[in-house]
Amino acid sequence: MAEPLIFDISRPGRSGVTPPACDVPPAVIPAELRRSAIPLPEVSEVDMVRHYVRLSQLNYSVDTGLYPLGSCTMKYNPKANEAAARLPGFASLHPLQPPAQTQGALALMHGLQEMIAEIGGFAAVSLQPSAGAHGELAGILIMRRWHHDRGDTARTRILVPDSAHGTNPASTSMAGLEAVEIPSDARGNVDLAKLTACLDERVAGLMLTNPNTLGLFEESLQEVTRLVHQAGGLVYGDGANFNAILGVTKPGALGIDVMHFNLHKTFSTPHGGGGPGGGALGVTAALAEYLPGPVVQAAGSGAERRFSWRVPSRGIGRLKSFHGNFGILVRAYTYIRMLGPDGLRAVAENAVLNANYLQARLSAVYPVPHGDRTCMHEFVAQGKIASAPEIHALDIAKRLIDYGFHPPTNYFPLIVPEALMIEPTETESLETLDRFIDALLAIAREAVSHPELLHDAPHASPVRRLDEVKAARELKVTAG
Amino acid sequence: MSFIPNTDADRARMLQAIGVSSTRDLFHDVPEAFRFPRLDLPPALSEQEILSELDQLSRQNADCAARPCFLGAGAYNHFIPAVVDFVVSRSEFATAYTPYQPEISQGTLQAIFEYQSMIARLTGMDVSNASHYDGATATAEAVIMALSVFQRQRSRVVLSAGLHPQYRAVVRTYTQGMGLTFAGDDAISRPPEDLASLCDKNTACVVIQNPDFLGRIAPPAVMKAIAAAVHACGALLVVVANPVSLGLLVPPGEAGADVVAGEGQALGNHLSFGGPSLGFFAFRRDQIRRSSGRIAGETRDRDGRTGYVFTLSTREQHIRREKATSNICTNQSLNALAAAAYMTALGPGGLRQVAELCWHKAHYLADRIRKLPGFTVHAGEFFHEFAVSCPRPVAKINEMLFEKHGIVGGYDLGRDYPELKDAVLLCCTETNTKAQIDELVDALGGSRHG
């Protein structure tokens, strides 16, 4: 039941939406400027609706079921967020209208800046970054400029733990600095001895994901930040895993100097099949003037309160056009206000509880390299079955699809062979978690009794395993 | 509101399985002195309360759904057919992650493949990626791609002053650690054909916006001449384009562009105070391995059925880490879906009609303003925006338009170009009726004395 390409259901002469007739005298359009016909699809509205509805039905989504992708925080996306973002006063506001016409939007952005600063323990926040990696680039540029301002131009290295997301070293390179990998120790923490050995006058800072991608809280976090600061460096916090410690601790109080918050993870905005996201960036007081701008400032109080734009004096510059992914900011703001301080803390508590429950019940069958530790919002198991050596994490992941679940993140972090990185989030019920456990336990039994069921999985999906080598070799990336 | 299904009984059962007595015990790795701090945040609200509060807040904005808008400058107030919002509101698209498991993500992957195909056809290029954050970051990524074509051995970039001022700023932000020099954007009076003369053997690319920030069109013959001169230096030509204009105008791909980037908001995405929207990014096939962002490609499954996957991932950060072509991970997938749905809903004829409506209305407005004493419409062919020199400061005129007529006026060009003090950039789209345009002209005519 493959859905044809939209171009294949196109028929000359069909059309969907008809624009209005022209109500002004037409002007001359010079012939030399006109293009030839564009081969866009010609379909009726009903054909279009059916095409996209059928395509949508080929997708798995949070609204379909459990989506335990580690480090992706696929929690439920409240529908109130969507209603808020669609209010005409937000959705139809032009970004270049003067502040006198946009006080509601500026008030919301200012409120969100303040709330994220409070949640993170930071002095100032910029809402410009569109995603986590965008925030990382801004953060590394801030660190770079801060050192330059102090005449310290020799600091060209950023230390990145080997468990980090690929965006960390990639952002470092884009900022013109060199990423240096730091190994993890036997307990899954940053190896303090190796870190110390790397800390010299060439180091601009450290990028730290905490909890890290093993799902573990850095046991020597304060020692790590102290050592980096002592060596003259700054500490960047990758907030991808912040859902675990939301309301539980403030990174700014633990020695993190600059950190991005993934609004599309922790703060419940939908992922949209890959975006849009939001990567709000928090910094300490020392770095506040380095933020990308403009940011929103407030003056006066009560009925006299007015909001305006301000460009930080030593700012790294503009990170995108206009003011950030405002529609995403509206959703995150709505979520924080609905939960309040206790609700936010309950998010972390239940996310961590759910993850530890899964770890406790699954570790008897699937090895968990750091299973002796309490995990945070996620844990990394191994897709290895002792009595079925031919079975790999990929086979287990694909077989989960047949049981109606989205697979966990697999083969990441790179430091755990056959990794299955499992993050249930706080929005899943115990019954759902139990069904997921039952599925994984059943798959472990199948791995021994009927390994072909795993090798050939998935069986029940719209398509079966796809040939990625063929895709890369033939490179058909547009319709013929 | 909590969105947490666990009951106390559930929690007790789970804690027992884990072997701890309280959820708080799970946080023993967090330094005790900094555990469970007070959060100084407003108390929780019900959905009814927060939506009521946000409704009030949104009404403090003078949005463009309720009043005439002649403001463009990179964000455009187009009509969005209901079917576009319907498509992007489907949960199965909106609440899916990046399609890492292609077997259960064919909806997103095929939609991206179709989006890429439409963007390639619209721009006249071979290939498109799955999106960047916006037009400005797509432009910055185009510059970085050009640098990598020369293995960073060329370090000069020529930018047109007619490139959106915020895009020029973002290019500089992105590349501040790369040791580049910039030329070309010092004077708005410089005609685009002069930019090629700034090109030398150290120049990686020339970036031109067409129609430019002032709405002016460089015709195909001029663009072809520029492309030839840029290519003679071995450099790349990056063209930033308005996608709605491409419903009507000769696309950059037919005039020698190597990369076409731009803001895709005008294609079915709400203004939303400037985001989320999307940056489109199209290029020549021979540069595909140097390109940034995700790309969907066609393949087959084990049973020979056609399917789609992300391809050439070895360019990307999750595989290539510090050697990746870009750090981008999350992009603007749902906004790209809106763009594809918009192009599908309108089709080639509808998109051309929208572009022609923009053209006719903007030209009608310009013709009427030309007759107003004290106002001078700047010379040159334009699409749906044009610059006008005014007899009074633009901020004063806009204040009058808004206070007395409820009209959102144009963009004050003096903010970015000192030589364009008291000049305004006015924009018309298909949403501007003749009555609105006449009201604007009458208001401007009355403002000389007001």
User: Domain-by-domain residue ranges, chain B?
Assistant: 82-342, 348-447
Question: How far, in Å, CA of B114 to CA of B134, rounded?
Answer: 19
> What DSSP state is assigned to residue A385?
B
Determine the Cα–Cα distance for residues A67 and A70; give it in Å rounded to an integer: 9
Give the span between the Cα atoms of A108 and A91, in whole angstroms: 14
- DSSP 3-state of A51: helix
In the block, residue with structure tokens 């003037």: A289
How high is the pLDDT of residue B449?
46
Residue B290 CB-density burial (10 A; 0-12 exposed, 13-18 middle, 19+ buried): middle
Alpha-carbon gap: A449 to the closest alpha carbon of chain B (Å): 23
CB neighbourhood size of B38 (10 A):
8
> Mind giving me the DSSP string for A423-476?
---TTS-HHHHHHHHHHHHHHHHHHHH-HHHHHT--SSSSS-SB-HHHHHHH--
The verdict on a CB contact (< 8 Å) between A33 and B217 is: yes
DSSP-assigned letter for residue B282: E
Among B residues 187-216, those touching chain A with beta carbons less than 8 Å apart:
none
Are B288 and B311 in contact by the 8 Å Cβ rule? The answer is no
State mean pLDDT over A398-406.
98
DSSP-H helix ranges across B317-332: 317-320
Domains in chain A, ordered, with CATH?
80-339 (3.40.640.10)
> In CATH terms, are B82-342 and B348-447 the same topology?
no
What pLDDT does residue A1 have? 58
Give DSSP secondary structure letters for B217-258.
Answer: PPPHHHHHHHHHHHHHTT-EEEEE--TTGGGTBPPGGGGT-S
User: Is residue A303 scored above 90 in pLDDT?
Assistant: no
Q: CB count, 10 Å around CB of A160?
A: 25
Closest residue of B to A14, CA-based?
A: B347
Q: Is B66 on the interface with A (CB under 8 A)?
A: yes
- Quick one: CA dihedral A39, A40, A46, A52, positive or negative? positive
Q: Which amino acid belongs to residue B417? A: Y
Of A38, A347, A477, the CB nearest to B121: A38
**In contact, B131 and B295? CB cutoff 8 Å:** no
Q: What is the pTM of this model?
A: 0.98
Q: How confident is residue B196, by pLDDT bands cut at 50, 70 and 90?
A: confident
Question: What confidence category does residue A184 fall into, taking pLDDT thresholds of 50, 70 and 90?
Answer: very high
Is B83 close to A102, i.e. CB distance below 8 A? no
Whether A69 and B100 lie within 8 Å, measured CB to CB: yes
Tell me the per-residue pLDDT of B42-60, one tens digit each, with 9 for 90 and over. Answer: 999 999 999 999 999 999 9
* Lateral strand order in the sheet of A419-422: A379-382, A419-422, A409-410
Please, what is the average pLDDT of chain B?
Answer: 96
Indicate which of B327, B403, B437, B440 best probes the interface with A, i.e. most A CBs within 10 Å of its own CB: B327
Q: Which residue has the tokens 């016409």?
A: A101
The letter for the amino acid at A303 is A
Longest CA span, chain B: 84
Let me know how long chain A is. 480
**CA of B424 vs chain A CAs: smallest distance (Å):** 13
Please list every residue in chain B whose beta carbon sits closer than 8 Å to the beta carbon of residue A59.
92-93, 96, 104-108
- Given a cut of 50, whether residue A281 has pLDDT beyond it is yes
Indicate the CATH number of B348-447 among 3.40.50.300, 3.40.630.10, 3.90.1150.10, 3.50.50.60: 3.90.1150.10
In B332-391, the residues whose Cβ lies within 8 Å of chain A are 332-335, 337, 341, 343-354, 356-357, 359-361, 363-364, 367, 381
Residue A441 has pLDDT above 50, yes or no: yes
Could you please state the CATH topology (level 3) that the domain comprising B82-342 is classified under. Aspartate Aminotransferase; domain 2 (3.40.640)
Question: Which pLDDT value is given to residue B446?
Answer: 86
CA distance A192 to B207: 47
Residue B99, SS3?
coil
How far are the Cα atoms of A24, A121, A341, B110, B372 from residue A111, in angstroms, in the given order?
44, 15, 15, 39, 44
Is pLDDT above 80 for B447?
no
Peptide bond into A294 cis (omega under 30): yes
Give every CB contact of residue A153 below 8 A, 6+ residues apart in sequence. A147
pLDDT above 70 coverage of chain B, percent: 99
The answer to whether A275 contacts B131, with C-beta atoms less than 8 Å apart, is yes
At B450 the pLDDT is: 41
CB contact under 8 A, B321 and A63: no
Interacting residues of B149 by C-beta distance below 8 A, sequence separation 6+ = B204, B236, B287, B290
